[in-house]
Copies of this chain bind each other. A is one copy, B any other.
Amino acid sequence: MKTEMKTAGWENKVRRVVPYTPGEQPKRKDVIKLNTNECPYPPSPKVKQALEHFGEESLRLYPDPQSLDLVEALADYYHVGKDQVFVGVGSDDVLALSFLTFFNSDKPVLFPDITYSFYDVWADLYRIPYQCQPLDDNFRLKKEDYMVENGGIIFPNPNAPTGLMEDIEVVEEIIAANPDSVVIVDEAYVDFGCTSVIPLVEKYENLLVVQTFSKSRAMAGMRIGYAIGSPKLIGYLNDVKFSFNSYTMNRLTLACGRACVEDEDYFREITQKIIATRERIKPELKRLGFLFQDSRANFIFARHETISAAELFEALKADGIFVRHWNKPRISEYLRITIGTDEEMDRLIAWLENYMESRRA
């Protein structure tokens, strides 16, 4: 700034927040990137075709505010009505708007103490009271904790960053016990071997299921998330969306998103490949002294029996292998390792073998 500034009264009117810190997005191309749970495979070839056939002249016009092309493709895929699907700019957009729409009371919203780190950020942003319910010593949620008075409930299944799956019966018990609150099940990682509760939206009007294109559909760079729920729930969410920004999904996103959903074969192929790699790598990591439970996500959340997570995190990073580490209570000894390609995982294992070796020497 070139000229001198008055000290500023306007700052008293500013909403101050502690923002979420996303996982590092290194600019270097030569890294093994296992830190933000992206898909190691490219998007469906149908997406490339959609791009090739996209007429860029149409970009002068606003997109369809109803996002019908994409909504219809998802409705067909999940066998629900078009009025049961909401789409947004990544599941973060869908979840943030859901917090704003559904958690509008003085009672605390409930979520696990170890969970997706954006939940408390949204609650703070919108001044929503919340209470973290501690997971048990095995990182499992205690269902009784979600059967107390509350302003709403949200948890991921499988949970993040633990990767642990909750039985669908337990999830249903929690939904059924809370007819006076909206229960959001965040299924960002459900496609890697967990069971979705989408079929339950026909039974429970207060259930919202949120999913994303960023993991199993290999489209993190396109920013698509969606929610499936009762027509009434989706209607309220649309009202808030149309009060915020009518046109959130651009024309390219709608075209590529639809093409992606329509290629079910490719989707099955890449998710199965990631599951196979994960299962193949589990015994390797165990052999090297890592401890972890049964992950149903595209990552493994593990600690090492002797080496600290902070040490491993830094040593891996120095050699261009990025994983995720949080300096937070209860999980500071864990690393979250995204499942990459077989080749990437073999390089990780080779690096770990070498590191253990040199450490013993």
Contact = CB atoms under 8 A, between A and B. Distances in A.
Interface of A: 1-3, 5-6, 8-22, 25, 33, 36, 38-43, 47-48, 51, 54, 56-65, 89-90, 92-93, 96, 100-105, 107, 121-122, 124-125, 151-152, 178-182, 202-203, 205-206, 214, 218-223, 230-232, 236, 238-253, 256
B42 A245 contact: no
A8 B205 contact: yes
Contacts of A107: 13
A60 B48 contact: no
Given A16-B239, A36-B62, A245-B92, A51 B54 contact: yes
B122 A244 contact: yes
A252 B254 CA distance: 12
A241 to B, nearest CB: 8
A125 B16 contact: no
18 contacts: A1-B202, A1-B230, A5-B230, A8-B206, A9-B180, A13-B107, A13-B151, A13-B152, A14-B102, A22-B65, A36-B62, A43-B57, A43-B59, A90-B247, A125-B243, A220-B247, A223-B249, A250-B253
Given A8-B205, A62-B220, 13 more contacts: A2-B202, A5-B205, A8-B232, A14-B102, A17-B243, A19-B241, A22-B246, A25-B64, A43-B60, A61-B221, A222-B252, A223-B248, A252-B256
A13 to B, nearest CB: 4
Nearest to A48: B56
Question: Residue among A9, A14, A16, A63 with the most chain B CB within 10 A?
Answer: A14
A220 B13 CA distance: 32
Nearest to A8: B205
Contact of A248 (B5, B14, B58, B93): B93
Contacts of A219: 59-60
A348 to B, nearest CB: 18
Please classify the interface of chain A as helix (H, G, I), strand (E, B), loop, or mixed, using the class held by over half of its residues: loop
Nearest to A225: B245
Contacts of A230: 1, 5
| In the A-B complex, the 6 residue pairs with the closest CB atoms | A9-B180, A19-B242, A221-B251, A42-B57, A59-B221, A15-B104
Nearest to A96: B244
Nearest to A94: B245
B8 A239 contact: no
Contacts of A202: 1-3
Contacts of A63: 220-221, 223
